């Protein structure tokens, strides 16, 4: 299989993986919108924690796949001049993981008084994640255009 075919397979898998990630993001956004500080209970927060746990696990797998000879390596092979962009995306993975871990720790404590803080942390995480996905998608499109040449 040629390098171009391998990159094509990597990009197809990335699109599929991103679909799963977006599903989890939607679930997390829904949980966030349903989280009412006035009526939240410790059980409500634990339910959010379970959603965060599930998403965090899937996100770690996704980032690992992208980083370990996956999509990011394919992008860098197709676009050697994008090395700094790829490094930036890798660094964002670590920051996203830290932000999600912070939200998870808050939700696991199950203290309804912390709902405003949890909402703020999840909003921050979701904004970071959306920006990361846009940046990654744009870089993938550039690499695919370059690969076609």
For 20-88, give the DSSP string: HHHHHHHHHHHHHHH--TTT--HHHHHHHHHHHHHHHHHHHHHHHHHHSSSHHHHHHHH-GGGHHHHHH
pLDDT grade, residue 2 (50/70/90)? Answer: very low
C-beta of residue 140 within 8 angstroms of C-beta of residue 57: no
Asked if residue 98 has pLDDT above 80, the reply is yes
The residues near 58 (Cβ < 8 Å, ≥ 6 apart) are 20, 21, 24
Total number of domains in the chain: 1
Q: CATH number of the domain that 19 lies in?
A: 1.20.120
Average pLDDT of the chain is 86
Q: Count H helices, E strands: the chain?
A: 5, 0
When pLDDT is averaged across residues 26-48 and rounded to a whole number, the result is: 87
pTM for the full predicted model? 0.85
Residue with the bigger pLDDT between 49 and 22: it is 49
The residue range of the domain holding 98 is 3-148
The pLDDT score that the predictor gives to residue 93 is 95
Residue with the bigger pLDDT between 121 and 140: it is 121
The pLDDT score that the predictor gives to residue 85 is 94
Residue with the bigger pLDDT between 81 and 78: it is 81
The residues near 143 (Cβ < 8 Å, ≥ 6 apart) are 7, 11, 74, 75, 78, 79, 82
């Amino acid at each position: 299989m040629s390098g171009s075919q391998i990159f094509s397979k990597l990009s197809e898998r990335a699109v599929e993986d991103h679909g799963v990630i977006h599903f989890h993001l939607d679930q997390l956004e829904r949980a966030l919108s349903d989280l009412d500080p006035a009526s939240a209970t410790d059980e409500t927060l634990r339910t959010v924690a379970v959603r965060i746990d599930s998403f965090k696990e899937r996100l770690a797998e996704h980032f690992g796949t992208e980083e370990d000879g996956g999509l990011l390596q394919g992008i860098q092979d197709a676009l050697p001049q994008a090395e700094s962009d790829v490094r930036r995306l890798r660094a964002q993975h670590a920051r996203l993981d830290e932000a999600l871990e912070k939200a998870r720790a808050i939700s696991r404590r199950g203290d309804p008084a912390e709902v405003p803080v949890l909402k703020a942390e999840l909003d921050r995480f979701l904004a970071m994640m959306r920006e990361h996905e846009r940046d990654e998608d744009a870089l993938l499109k550039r690499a695919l255009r370059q690969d076609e040449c």
